[in-house]
Amino acid sequence: MNAGLSQHYCRMPYVEKGMVVGLFGGSFNPPHKGHVLVANTALVRLKLDQLWWMVTPGNPLKNLVELAPLHERIAASEELMNNLYICVTAFEEKIHTRYSADTIAYILQHNPGVHFVWIMGADNLASFHHWQNWRQIVKTIPIAVINRFGSEHADISAPMAQTFARFRIPENMSASLALKKAPAWTFIHGRCSELSSSVLRAL
C-alpha cells in the first residue's frame, strides 16, 4: 500500500442504487483549477448525484519519473475541493488496476443499479485511441467529454469521435446521458482554463 495514504481513500465512495455518478480519473500531477472546472461542469450539465475524482497510482501512457507520490496528489486534490458532491478517491491502488477499462469493469460489477458516466477532458479525447481497450470502454459506459483549452475540435478530429460518431447525443440532452445504454457520448462546451499539469510541473 502507498506509504502515507489513508485507508479512507482506498475504498470506493458510498453510493446507492439509482444514483447518477460521474467517474473522473487522472494522474492529477498536480491537480489544478482546470480539473475542478471540468468536474464542476460535469456535475451541473450531467445532473450528477456524485462525482468520483479518481487519483490514479500511475498512468501507463505517462512518464512515471515525474509522478508525485499518490498521497501528495490526494492531499493537493483535497485542497482544491469546495464541493461536497465531489469525492476524492484512490481505490485503484487497492484493487491494483492499471487501465481504465479494468477499473470501469470493477466499478460496474460492484455497484449494480448505479448509473455511471465516464468523464474526460477534450485533451484526453484526442489521444483516447491509444488507451488500452478503448473501444470496449466506449461500448461499456456512457462518456461525457468536457472541452479543454486547445482541444475544442477534438469532437470532430479524434479517432474515437469519428469511429463512434453515430452514437453521439446532442449537447442539450447531456442530462440524460448516464441513463443511456452504451455506446453513447456527448461533447460539452463551456468555460475553459489554460492551466495544464505539464506546465505547472515545469514552473
On whether the CB atoms of residues 128 and 100 are closer than 8 A, the answer is no
Does residue 50 register a pLDDT over 60? yes
Ranges of beta strands (E only) in 60-180 are 86-89, 115-121, 143-146
pLDDT-derived band at 203 (thresholds 50, 70, 90) equals: very low
Cell of 60: 501507463
pLDDT in tens, 58-94: 766 666 678 999 999 999 999 998 899 999 999 999 9
Give the model's pLDDT for residue 141. 98
Q: Give residue 197's pLDDT.
A: 45
Candidates 98, 109, 96, 86; CA nearest to 27 is: 98
Does the pTM exceed 0.85?
yes
| pLDDT single digits (tens) 152-199 | 778 889 999 999 999 999 999 999 999 999 999 999 987 755 545 444
Q: Which of 199, 186, 135, 189 is nearest to 163 (CA)?
A: 135
d(CA 187, CA 124): 12
Q: Does the pLDDT of residue 201 top 60, yes or no? A: no
pLDDT at 82: 85
pLDDT at 45 over 70: yes
* pLDDT at res. 158: 93
